[in-house]
Amino acid sequence: MMTNTEDAMIDYYARRAAEYERIYARPERQADLQVLAQFLSRAFSGLQVLELACGTGYWTQFIARTAAAILSTDYNPEVLALAKPKDFGNCRVEFTRADAYSLENTAGGHWAGFHGFWWSHVPVARRSQFLSVFHSRLSPGAKVVMIDNVCVEGSSTPVLRRDPEGNTYQLRRLDDGSGHEVLKNFPSDSDLHASLSGCATDIKVRRLPYFWITEYKTAGMPDNSINTDGNAAGLLSRQ
Ligand SMILES: C[S@@+](CC[C@H](N)C(=O)[O-])C[C@H]1O[C@@H](n2cnc3c(N)ncnc32)[C@H](O)[C@@H]1O
């Protein structure tokens, strides 16, 4: 069940859809954004990827350069409508609406997973449930990448308050003048390791000045037989 905070965030991103990609034009972040784009252009070579909270498909474009196929999902139809017409080259990209906390109509057996700028919006108390649902749609041993913001004074929206569970909140404004309190967490490396320990292996966290990248494999042995989509694994190479 969604909380008021989560409902408010969904509404905020629906209203922000048309202005969302301006965040990727911030001059001070350009060098880091290029590093992320290059990294994602190679990260999923030959793999079939499940992307959560894909938004306007900005990062999908880079993943599509070498991935075999991507199933990109988001809760908001407003952002999916902006993602669909983008150019994904030869990559087979499918968009579908899905709640990242339930992934109800999302098939399993994906060989890789990705979410960008989503982990920071997952409340501390829901991290474990979120990971359990996400990983249930991935093969054991699947490669996962997540990227998100580092809090940088003078560039990031300041943190307004902290709740008793340890979530932090920002006040954001949209072009229509409306103000929105948005849950936005900035985990430390040890927070990330602690959240993933027990359900992941080979965890690597890397920090750029403005962003962090976390890579890991889902726990369990790779399944080389048949995935739950009914596709024979091995048609595409696993990396
Ligand atoms: C910060 S944006 C990230 C968009 C995109 N991944 C990017 O990096 O450009 C967060 C996204 O989460 C989506 N979202 C919010 N709540 C969601 C939920 N419960 N399930 C799936 N997507 C959700 C919003 O619609 C929004 O597109």
Query: What is the distance in A from the centroid of ligand 1 to the CA of 226?
Result: 30
Q: What is the pLDDT of residues 145-193, one digit of tens each?
A: 999 999 999 999 999 999 999 999 999 999 999 999 999 999 999 999 9
Q: What are the sequence ranges of the domains in the chain? A: 4-226
pLDDT at 2: 74
| Cβ–Cβ under 8 Å, residues 60 and 36 | no
Ligand 1 centroid – CA 234 distance (Å)? 31
* Cα–Cα distance measured from residue 84 to residue 185, given in angstroms and rounded to the nearest whole number: 29
> What is the topology classification, in CATH, of domain 4-226?
Rossmann fold (3.40.50)
The stretch 17-21 carries a mean pLDDT of 98
Distance 10 CA to ligand 1 centre (A): 8
Element (H, E) at 100: none
pLDDT band at 221; cut points 50, 70, 90: confident
Per-residue confidence (pLDDT) for residue 237, from 0 to 100: 31
Please report which confidence band the pLDDT of residue 112 belongs to, taking 50, 70 and 90 as the band edges: very high
For residue 102, pLDDT over 50 is answered with: yes
Indicate the pLDDT class of residue 3, thresholds 50, 70 and 90: confident
Write out the two tokens for 70: 């991507």
Q: Tell me if 100 CB under 6 Å of ligand 1.
A: yes
Mean pLDDT score of the chain: 92
Q: Given ligand 1 and candidates 29, 73, 74, 79, which is best to mutate, with the most ligand atoms within 8 Å of its CB?
A: 74
Residue 226 confidence (pLDDT) above 80: no
Q: Helix, strand or coil for residue 145? A: strand
Cα 157 to averaged position of ligand 1 atoms, centre (Å): 18
For residue range 49-96, list pLDDT tens digits in order: 999 999 999 999 999 999 999 999 999 999 999 999 999 999 999 999
Ligand 1 pocket check for 59: Cβ under 6 Å: yes
